[in-house]
Copies of this chain bind each other. A is one copy, B any other.
Amino acid sequence: MLYFANDYSTGAHPEVLKALLETNGDKLPGYGEDRLCGIAKEKIRRACGCPEAEVFFLMGGTQTNSVALSALLKGYEGVIAAETGHIGVHEAGAVESGGHKVITLPGREGKLDCAVLREWLEGFYGDESRDHMVFPGAVYISQPTEYGTIYSLGELESLSAICREYSMTLYMDGARLGYALVSPAADAGLEDIARLCGAFYIGGTKVGALCGEALVFPKGAPEHFFTTVKQKGALPAKGRLFGAQFDALFTDGLYLRISRHVMDMTERLKRVLTARGFSFYIDSPTNQQFILIENDRLERLTKSVALTLWEKPDADHSVVRFAADWSTMPEDIEALDAILAEL
């Protein structure tokens, strides 16, 4: 069975695993106060060009989003997101469970449009009954988005400016951030993101780690954020689990090396799919590729290839997602090509 269903179906990248192994016997303090976490945080601060940033390691994306937003938002505030934003769709209401509304605006291929955002804000602040409504306290974006698209540096600059103007925090969900950093379409680097966002996370789970996301507050964290993390059940006793992995990911550029490898595989994948006549549902410059396919062909295909069903645009067609990860190899693409040739 070939596996393109998602980018979290394999364990950790060998270098990450090696770091876990090599430090396994070390006696270290608990709750993230250990040497490995310290080193990893310092490397991340350096990679972000942001010496005063505060970094916290959490387990996964939903947890990171909801813990961060609960600390960033005041009780009467909600967070703005594109209708397709992960927090509003596939996080089981985690943000609302913490007491905050997700205010959804129509997006374009997963992205929140600056003009749409500004128009909504002008409408909100021009509305005489706004005091009876949820105030916008943050803007949530994902980079890359749930559809694989990415925000340009210009778009991030504009979003950041709007957020400053309206006293909102720009929050970036970077579950797959690596792929957005090395994408041929990308022009925003980590330093730009750290400069433009109030908070963002560098996703580990989908970029070579077993688990873990690095939440970065470039200008400093909300007060007593450690306690918030503990209160929300997000503080493992053996914090080294995150420290060792992120130390590895930020040693010798491993995070970007993994990302580049995955994007190389994605380019090969796109070439194969194009050559085999498939049409792309969305023009995605990152590691998730969305293909339109007839249902009967899909049925045959999924006998030997694991994919994720995304949408059913009509009765006869499906949109499926192909995703590469660190373990995808050229021979996997070749094997896929051979299968497609026979389809």
Residues of A that sit less than 8 Å from B by CB = 1, 3, 5-6, 8-12, 17, 20-21, 23-31, 59-67, 70-71, 74-76, 78, 89-94, 96-102, 128-129, 131-135, 205-206, 210-211, 223-224, 226-228, 230-238, 240-241, 306, 309, 327
Contacts and interface: CB of A to CB of B under 8 A. Distances in A.
A231 B76 contact: yes
Contacts of A23: 11
Contact of A75 (B1, B3, B91, B231): B231
A236 B59 contact: yes
A235 B58 CA distance: 12
Given A9-B28, A12-B24, A131-B226, 6 more contacts: A6-B30, A8-B237, A78-B96, A92-B230, A99-B99, A131-B230
A1 to B, nearest CB: 7
A314 to B, nearest CB: 14
A11 to B, nearest CB: 3
A317 to B, nearest CB: 16
Given A10-B27, A135-B227, A92 B76 contact: yes
Given A9-B29, A129-B90, A235 B76 contact: no
Nearest to A228: B76
Contacts of A238: 8, 11, 205, 210-211
B27 A236 contact: no
A90 B124 CA distance: 12
Contacts of A62: 230-231, 233, 235
Nearest to A210: B241
Which among A129, A135, A230, A231 has the highest number of chain B CB atoms within 10 Å? Answer: A231
Contacts of A63: 233-234
Given A233-B234, A235-B60, A11 B240 contact: yes
Contacts of A241: 210-211
Residue among A5, A17, A75, A96 with max Cβ neighbours from chain B (10 Å): A75
17 contacts: A10-B26, A11-B25, A11-B26, A12-B24, A17-B20, A63-B233, A66-B233, A76-B228, A89-B133, A90-B129, A93-B99, A94-B232, A94-B233, A128-B309, A135-B227, A205-B236, A211-B241
A237 B236 CA distance: 17
B66 A75 contact: no
A150 B60 CA distance: 34
A149 B114 CA distance: 35
Nearest to A66: B233
Q: Closest 5 CB pairs between A and B? A: A63-B233, A11-B24, A92-B231, A93-B134, A8-B237
A100 B96 contact: yes
Contacts of A8: 30, 237-238
A131 B12 CA distance: 26
Nearest to A73: B75
Contacts of A64: 233
Contacts of A30: 6, 8-9
Contacts of A98: 99
Contacts of A234: 59, 63, 233
A289 to B, nearest CB: 18
A62 B62 CA distance: 17
